[in-house]
Amino acid sequence: MERKKFVLLDIDYITENNAAVVRLFGKLVGENGNRSIIAKDKSFKPYIYVLPHDIETCITELEDLNIQKVEKVKKQDVGVLKEFLKLTLKHPQDVPKLREKIWSLDSVDAVREHDIPFYRRYLIDKGLFPMSEIQVEGKSLNSNFTSEEDPYIFEIIGDPQPLESGLPELKVLSFDIEACNPKGMPQEKEDPIIMISVSSNQGLRKVYSTKTSSFDFVEVLNDEKELLEKFVEVVKSENPDLITGYNTDVFDFPYIRDRAALLGVTLDLGVDGSEIKFMRRGFANSAVIKGRVHVDLYPSMRRFLQLDRYTLERVYMEIFDKEKKDIDGEEINACWENGGERLEELFEYSLDDAVAVTKIGSEMLPLSMALTRLVGQPLFDIARMATGQQVEWYLIRKAFEYGDIVPNKPSNSQIANRRKIEGGYVKDPVKGLHKNIVYFDFRSLYPSIIISKNVSPDTRVDDCDEENCYIAPEVGYKFLKEPVGFVPSVIGDVLQERVRVKTRMKETSDPHEKHVLDVQQEALKRVANTMYGVYGFIRFRWYCLECADSITAWGREFIKNTMKESEELGFKPIYADTDGFYATYLGSSDEDREYS
DNA sequence: AGCCCACGGGG
DNA sequence: GTGTACGTGGGCT
Provide mean pLDDT across the span A468-495. Answer: 95
Please say if the pLDDT value at position A435 is more than 90. no
Protein-nucleic contacts, chain A 398-457 to strand B, CB < 7 Å: none
A349 CB contacts (<8 Å, ≥6 apart)?
A325, A326, A327
pLDDT value at residue A183: 87
Distance of CA A326 to the CA centre of its chain: 30
Protein-nucleic contacts, chain A 168-207 to strand B, CB < 7 Å: 176-181, 184-186
Q: What is the pLDDT of residues A174-214, one digit of tens each?
A: 999 999 999 889 999 999 999 999 999 999 999 999 999 99
Please say if the pLDDT value at position A495 is more than 80. yes
pLDDT value at residue A369: 96
Provide mean pLDDT across the span A76-82. Answer: 92
A289 with A231, same domain? Answer: yes
| Average of per-residue pLDDT values in chain A | 91
DSSP state of A331: G
pLDDT value at residue A416: 78
CA distance A246 to A300: 10
Query: Is A167 contained in some domain?
Result: no
pLDDT category of residue A595 using cuts at 50, 70 and 90: very low
Give, as ranges, the nucleotides of chain B with any atom within 7 Å of a protein CB: 7-11
Residues in chain A: 596
DSSP notation for A398-436: HHHHHTBPPPPPPPHHHHHHPPPPP----BPPPPS--SS
Q: What is the pLDDT of residues A41-72, one digit of tens each?
A: 999 999 999 999 999 999 999 988 889 999 99
What total of structural domains would you count in chain A?
A: 4
Q: Which residues of A103-138 are buried (b: 16+ CB within 10 A; e: fewer)?
A: eebebbebbbbbebebbbbbbbebebbbbbbbebeb
DSSP notation for A49-101: EEEESSHHHHHHHHTTS-EEEEEEEEEEETTEEEEEEEEEESSTTHHHHHHHH
A299 with A265, same domain? Answer: yes
DSSP-based three-state secondary structure for A108: strand
A261 CB contacts (<8 Å, ≥6 apart)?
none
A548 in Cβ contact with A477 (< 8 Å): no
**Other C-beta atoms lying within 10 Å of the C-beta of residue A324:** 19
DSSP notation for A224-248: HHHHHHHHHHHHHHH--SEEEESSI
As a whole-number percent, the residues of chain A with pLDDT over 90 amount to 75
Burial (Cβ within 10 Å: 0-12, 13-18, ≥19) of residue A321: exposed
A103 with A242, same domain? Answer: no
Is nucleic acid strand B under 7 Å from A336's C-beta? no
Q: What is the pLDDT of residues A129-140, one digit of tens each?
A: 999 999 999 999
Provide mean pLDDT across the span A145-159. Answer: 87
pLDDT category of residue A287 using cuts at 50, 70 and 90: very high
Please say if the pLDDT value at position A447 is more than 50. yes
| Beta strand extents in A399-531 (DSSP E only) | 437-441, 460-461, 469-471, 478-480
Is nucleic acid strand B under 7 Å from A250's C-beta? yes
**Enclosing domain of residue A223:** 172-375
A199 with A339, same domain? Answer: yes
* CA/C1' separation A214–C10 (Å): 48
Please say if the pLDDT value at position A550 is more than 50. yes
**Looking at the C1' of nucleotide C6, which residue has the nearest alpha carbon?**
A283
A185 with A317, same domain? Answer: yes
pLDDT value at residue A596: 35
Residue A128 C-beta-side C-alpha neighbours within 13 Å: 28
Domain CATH for A111: 3.30.342.10
**Looking at the C1' of nucleotide C1, which residue has the nearest alpha carbon?**
A93
Please say if the pLDDT value at position A161 is more than 70. yes
pLDDT category of residue A407 using cuts at 50, 70 and 90: very high
A579 in Cβ contact with A532 (< 8 Å): no
A531 CB contacts (<8 Å, ≥6 apart)?
A391, A446, A447, A450, A487, A490, A491, A494
A139 with A116, same domain? Answer: no
A332 with A189, same domain? Answer: yes
Nucleotide nearest to A118 (CA to C1'): C2
Provide mean pLDDT across the span A563-585. Answer: 81
A327 with A365, same domain? Answer: yes
Query: Is A542 contained in some domain?
Result: yes
**Looking at the C1' of nucleotide C5, which residue has the nearest alpha carbon?**
A282
Protein-nucleic contacts, chain A 402-461 to strand C, CB < 7 Å: 409, 412
A246 with A274, same domain? Answer: yes
Is nucleic acid strand C under 7 Å from A47's C-beta? yes
A100 with A23, same domain? Answer: no
Is nucleic acid strand C under 7 Å from A48's C-beta? yes
Domain CATH for A478: 3.90.1600.10
Please say if the pLDDT value at position A584 is more than 90. no
Nucleotide nearest to A183 (CA to C1'): B11
Domain CATH for A224: 3.30.420.10
Is nucleic acid strand B under 7 Å from A285's C-beta? no
pLDDT value at residue A585: 81
* CA/C1' separation A421–B1 (Å): 20
A425 with A569, same domain? Answer: yes
From A315-324, A387-396, A414-423, the region with the lowest mean pLDDT:
A414-423
